[in-house]
Each structure stands twice: as structure tokens, then as C-alpha cells.
Amino acid sequence: MRRVEDDIAYTLLTHDEIYDKVHEVGRKIAEDYRDKNPVFVGVLKGCFMFMADLIRCVDIPCEIEFMAVSSYSGTSSTGAVRIQKDLKGDINGRHIILVEDILDSGITLNYLKNYLKVREPASISIVTLLDKPARRQAPVYSDYHCFEVPDAFVVGYGLDYNERYRNLPYIGVLKPEVYS
């Protein structure tokens, strides 16, 4: 029987490491946003596992929305961001927290931040599970991130390679032969 694990060269972050860190960041956000009733906006699909774990550690009143964008095909960005699912509700005067799986070139989050700014929210901040600062092209940073990762293509815990490996419960690096 084939398992997703068979394609993983090595584990970068174990499920336990992720769990501990996500709890720490969730509690920090809860402190910072007390009495602000923030709106968590998850960027699909990569955010789904991270968002589900994070939000359970944020024990303050808040709301949850999702957007869907696409910019990637395989392991490299096409540079063009397309909004596939937009927010329905009004965010004017609201505190927005964008939740993404990874900040890589920064093109996606830079685009999204500017796209939402026009609707005049009270604030927009960014929380990402992973940050790959070495790859940054756009002037954007995460206000909260759990881990910095080296410049390798990673999968698991929501992150995909051509839509696969999202179900891996930890973050791993794919075997090179998987790309060919």
C-alpha cells in the first residue's frame, strides 16, 4: 500500500513541535486582540489545518471567514494572484487577521493586504505558520509566525505539492524524485 510518507525525504517540523508553537501564538493573539472582536480570514486552501488548530487557542470573541486565491502551479509562483472566493461581509472598521500557511515570495499576502485595505478595516495583521524570509520579493512581513524555514519546498499540515500531501500531519520535505 502506498502512503503519503513514502514521498517524504525528511521531517522538518514534527506534529508536537507544531502543536506547542501554534498554542503559544494563539494565546499571544488572544491577548493582543482582547475586546477587539477580530475577524480571522483564512486563505484557502493551505490554511485549513493551521487555522483549525490556531483558532482553538484563541479564547476571545472572534469571527471566522475564508478567502481563496491562486497563484501557484507546482513549486514556483506564477506571480499573478487571482481571487477565487472573496469575503461576503463588510469589514469596514473591523480588525482583520489574515491566516496563511506560508509567507514565501510575499506576493500573495502583499496583494491580499492591499486588496482588503480599500475596504477600510481598522487594522490588518498577518499570521503565518511558516516564514521563508530568504525568498521574499514583496514588502510584506508576518506580525505573528510560528516557524522560519529554509529555502526548501515543504509539504504537509495543509501545504500541498500539486494538491497532494495536505493531509500529512507534520511538515516535511519531498524527495527530489517526486518533482520529476
Residues 35-74 that bind Mg ion (CB under 5 A): 46, 72
> Kind and range of the H or E element at 12?
strand 8-13
3-state SS of 85-130 is ECCCCCCCCCEEEEEEEEECCCHHHHHHHHHHHCCCCCEEEEEEEE
Q: Give the three-state DSSP class for 26.
A: helix
- 104 as an active site residue: the answer is yes
The values of phi and psi at residue 17, to 5°, are -60, -45
Of 35, 104, 131, 143, the catalytic one is 104
Among 12, 26, 33, 108, binds ligand IMP (CB under 6 A): 108
**The entry of Mg ion, ligand IMP, none that residue 126 binds, CB within 5 to 8 Å by partner kind:** none
Question: What mask, x for binding ligand IMP by CB under 6 A, covers residues 152 to 171?
Answer: -xxx---x------------
C-alpha closest to that of 87 among 78, 98, 79: 98
Judging by beta carbons within 10 Å of its beta carbon (0-12, 13-18, 19+), is residue 96 exposed, middle or buried?
buried
Q: Give whichever of 36 and 136 is closer to ligand IMP, judged by the CB atom.
A: 136
Residue 11 contacts ligand IMP per CB under 6 A? no
Among 22, 49, 100, 142, binds ligand IMP (CB under 6 A): 100
Residue 84 in grid coordinates: 477565487
Give the interface size with ligand IMP as a residue count (CB under 6 A): 17
CA 57 – CA 59 distance, rounded (Å): 6
Question: What mask, x for binding ligand IMP by CB under 6 A, covers residues 19 to 38?
Answer: --------------------
Q: Which residues are catalytic?
A: 104
Q: List residues binding ligand IMP (CB under 6 A).
A: 46, 71-72, 77, 100-108, 153-155, 159
